[in-house]
Amino acid sequence: MADVNLDLKGLKCPLPALKTEKTLASLQPGDRLTVECTDPMAAIDIPHLLQKTGDRLVTTEHGEGRLVFRIEKV
């Protein structure tokens, strides 16, 4: 199982979702991805992306002007 961190702070919509999707495609089932971003639209885009891919959103953290998503590849 791999743990991958993706720093997308400063990127604007749609880049956080697109880069998250590309990274998820390279992972194996059971791998975990942590995505950090500052674009408020990611709060909508990332969960929507995960509905499409079927991967699991483990946790979401909001605070200090950033969003952190912890995702498990299914």
Residues belonging to the active site: 13
Kind plus residue range of the DSSP H or E element containing 71: strand 66-72
> Which residue has tokens 């909508």?
44
Contact 58, 32 (CB under 8 A): yes
